[in-house]
Amino acid sequence: MDYTTKIANQVFHHLFINAAGVYCQTFEELEQIQNAPCAGAVITKSATAKERSGNSEPRYFENSVEHNTINSMGLPNLGIDYYLNYVLKHSLKLPTLFSIVGLCQKEIIDNLKKLQASDFSGLTELNLSYPNVSGKPQIAYDFAATREILDNVFAFYSKPLGVKLPPYFDIAHFDQIAAILNDYPLAYVNAINSVGNGLVIDPETDTVMIKPKDGFGGLGGKQIKATALANVRALRQRLHPQIKIIATGGVTNGRNVYDHLLCGADLVSVGSQLGIEGPTVFARLEKELEEIFADKGITDLRQVRGKLKLIA
């Protein structure tokens, strides 16, 4: 199958990316994604202006039998300069996405000014949906704040930019966020971040599974697949066609990838299952996807992308 996909100035030869946060905090992890068979691109951990150690541990729990995770990492990262050094100094085989975040609007703007002034030429992903920093609501649930940030960003930022969105759960909210995003020259949206503020309980001890925020954390894995598909589908139906979609959420097998394609995904990123299985996951997913294509006689991605069928 020819998987060639373009977003802005970047050309991808496979569909898969690590989801920001997974296998991307250090040079070593980023290199493992670069070298993973069937990886299409690599994204860096969302970077703040300065290094952060994140929330206290335990802050991540995975149920590898049910393919579900909960995390409250709290933005541990090595700081924007570390990741800039990585993308500029290493000879990168794959297209690179640079995830940027800020704990206030000024930090977002300062970080993007740094990227704008640098020689970085990949895609920038502005994380408007981090769920685990106490006292900081997920930005993209506040539509006025989202518009204000995008106004201020696009006043100076001229490199290709995407945004990472939280899941929405109401048709009115799909309408409202899409109307805002359509007002800006976005290269893409990435939907969805983890489903914020879930709670998982250990049945042996009647205790929460993670320590920060008394156990509340972002959910990932199989349990969020239907929400992720709905967000990809709803956004594809509403966004201008030039705004591409990276689908994230609930991908554990080839059929899940196929479903995201049906909903309109251009690329697919893998978070929880990458954490559970490691970077060989991309090759397994691609093989399973190819088996589905062979069964259905599909020879071109255009036969699948956005081709979800409805009941008449």
Footprint of ligand RRO (CB under 6 A): 21, 46, 71-75, 101, 127, 129-132, 193-194, 218
Please say whether the beta carbons of 202 and 141 come within 8 A: no
Closest distance between ligand RRO and the C-beta of residue 219, in Å? Answer: 8
Closest distance between ligand RRO and the C-beta of residue 30, in Å? Answer: 16
> Which two tokens mark 229?
């598909």
Any idea which residue has 């709290």 for tokens? 74
DSSP the chain: ----EEETTEEESSSEEEPTTSS-SSHHHHHHHHTSTTEEEEEPPPB-SS-B--SPSS-EEEETTTTEEEE-----B--HHHHHHHHHHS--SS-EEEEE--SSHHHHHHHHHHHHHS---SEEEEE-----STT---GGG-HHHHHHHHHHHHTT--S-EEEEE----SHHHHHHHHHHHTTS--SEEEE---EEEEE-EETTTTEES--GGGGEEEEEEGGGHHHHHHHHHHHHHHS-TTSEEEEES---SHHHHHHHHHHT-SEEEESHHHHHH-TTHHHHHHHHHHHHHHHHT--SGGGTTT------
Task: Kindly tell me which of 75 and 261 has the beta carbon lying closer to ligand RRO.
Answer: 75
Closest distance between ligand RRO and the C-beta of residue 273, in Å? Answer: 14
Closest distance between ligand RRO and the C-beta of residue 9, in Å? Answer: 25
Task: Kindly tell me which of 133 and 304 has the beta carbon lying closer to ligand RRO.
Answer: 133
> Which two tokens mark 288?
């399973």
Task: Kindly tell me which of 10 and 127 has the beta carbon lying closer to ligand RRO.
Answer: 127
Task: Kindly tell me which of 7 and 224 has the beta carbon lying closer to ligand RRO.
Answer: 224
Task: Kindly tell me which of 75 and 274 has the beta carbon lying closer to ligand RRO.
Answer: 75
Integer distance in angstroms from the first to the last C-alpha of the chain? 31
Task: Kindly tell me which of 218 and 279 has the beta carbon lying closer to ligand RRO.
Answer: 218
Closest distance between ligand RRO and the C-beta of residue 15, in Å? Answer: 21
Task: Kindly tell me which of 5 and 72 has the beta carbon lying closer to ligand RRO.
Answer: 72
Closest distance between ligand RRO and the C-beta of residue 60, in Å? Answer: 9
Task: Kindly tell me which of 5 and 44 has the beta carbon lying closer to ligand RRO.
Answer: 44
Closest distance between ligand RRO and the C-beta of residue 164, in Å? Answer: 7
Torsion of CA 218, 219, 225, 226, to 10 degrees: -80
Closest distance between ligand RRO and the C-beta of residue 288, in Å? Answer: 25
